[in-house]
Amino acid sequence: DLPQRVRIYEVGARDGLQNEKATVPTEVKAEFIRRLADAGLTTVEATSFVRPEWVPQLADAEDLFPRVRDLKGVHLPVLVPNGRGLDRALALGATHIAVFASATESFAKANLNRTVDESLAVFEPVVARAKDKGQQVRGYVSMAFGDPWEGDVPIHQVVRVCTALRDMGCDELSLGDTIGVATPGHVLELLSMLNEEGVPTNVIGVHFHDTYGQALANTYAALEHGVTTIDASAGGLGGCPYAKSATGNLATEDLVWMLQGLGIDTGVDLGRLTATSVWMAEQLGRPSPSRTVRALSHK
């Protein structure tokens, strides 16, 4: 049975914009977030408190976050890679944070400059302190399906990192198909294995990139398995600067179109959302890669 309601975890302002070559003005980012909230999205990942030299596009986090933090009816999670990131997030009144681990050594090194175990050791006190402060904590697991340097990623590696993040207190996990190579059978296999190892479906979110055009098919498989948290990015913006070949995330509009057709409630106003992505595409100077945005804006 498919779920009746799905929570869309919107990542466009973070995963989308972190990958832009041109720097997007802070006020444009703030307006983007306001418009996403106004379109009915209840979780809008806002930015990252990472080392600015690593992700220059999000170096304005201190300036951006206060412009949006008082928005009503929306949670605004932020990425934190370490204790310094958590300090910055707490100082600005963030209530939802996300740490981001990797299932592979290659990406842990490229993205966090640490081994997998070293990065988990960094996250442990971060998650403990965040939980102590009453934060909601998400744990991303990147390269959960395939890795550009290592190829197929064995499921046991993913399960190990998921279990470690759960054990340290993460409320929710997000399985990242960072380079978009997953296919539905692989998704079902990983979800089943996680369940067998004691990770319940209700703490699992899925995070698909659409590099091979599989993101919606993978989402459908996850829905059939009972997953109700789906990451997506407005207009299909996105990628990861430290993962070659990663393209945009599943477009939120494509997701909402499918969910509407299935009678699954999301609370999102597709017209407003599409208008937001068309506006953002104008700001970025190129059309949205989302098929649904293109179809709905060329009527």
Residues that bind ligand HMG (CB under 6 A): 15, 18, 48-51, 54-55, 79, 81-82, 84-85, 88, 100, 111-113, 140, 142, 176, 178, 207, 240, 242
Shortest Å distance, C-beta 296 to ligand HMG: 26
End-to-end Cα, the chain, rounded Å: 34
Closer residue to Mg ion, CB minimum distance, 85 or 180: 180
Beta strands 47-48; 43-44: pairing state: unpaired
Angle at 291 between CA 284 and CA 17, to 5 degrees: 30
Binding partner of 180, given ligand HMG, Mg ion, none, CB within 5-8 angstroms per partner class? none
Q: Residue 70 CB, nearest distance to ligand HMG (Å)? A: 23
* Structure tokens, 58: 């999000």
Answer whether 46's CB lies under 8 Å from 14's CB: yes
Residues in 8-67 at the binding interface with Mg ion, rule: CB under 5 A? 15
In the complex with ligand HMG, the residue whose CB is nearer, 101 or 296, is: 101
Q: What angle do CA 21, 278, 292 make, to 5 degrees?
A: 105
Instruction: Pick one of ligand HMG, Mg ion, none as the site partner of residue 205 (Cβ within 5 to 8 A by kind).
Output: none
**Binds 100: which of Mg ion, ligand HMG, none (CB < 5-8 Å by kind):** ligand HMG
Residue 123's binding partner among Mg ion, ligand HMG, none (Cβ under 5 to 8 angstroms by kind) is: none
Minimum distance from residue 261 beta carbon to ligand HMG (Å):
26
Q: What's CA 1's distance to the chain center, in Å?
A: 25
Token pair belonging to 43: 């979780």
Residue with tokens 């930015």: 47
d(CA 277, CA 36): 9
Q: Which is nearer to ligand HMG, 75 or 207 (CB)?
A: 207
Distance CA(61)–CA(55), nearest Å, equals: 11
The continuous run of DSSP H or E covering 160 comes out as helix 155-167
Considering the candidates 68, 153, 240, 255, report the single residue annotated as catalytic: 240
Cβ of residue 96: shortest distance to ligand HMG, in angstroms? 14
Question: Which one of Mg ion, ligand HMG, none is in contact with 55 (Cβ closer than 5 to 8 A by kind)?
Answer: ligand HMG
**Residue with Cβ nearer ligand HMG (49 or 65):** 49
Task: Based on the shown chain and the rule CB under 5 A, indicate whether residue 177 belongs to the binding site for Mg ion.
Answer: no
Catalytic residue status for 170: no
How many residues belong to the site for Mg ion (CB under 5 A)?
Answer: 1
- C-beta closer to Mg ion: residue 15 or 60: 15
Which contacts qualify for 58-66: CB closer than 8 Å, 24 or more apart? 58/14, 58/17, 58/18, 60/26, 60/29, 61/88, 62/88, 62/92, 63/26, 64/26, 64/29, 64/30, 65/92, 65/93, 65/94, 66/92
The closest of 3, 10, 219 to 96, measured between CA atoms, is 10
2 versus 121: smaller Cβ distance to ligand HMG = 121
Residue closest to ligand HMG when measured from CB atoms: 176
Query: Which residues form the catalytic set?
Result: 240
Binding site for Mg ion (CB under 5 A): 15
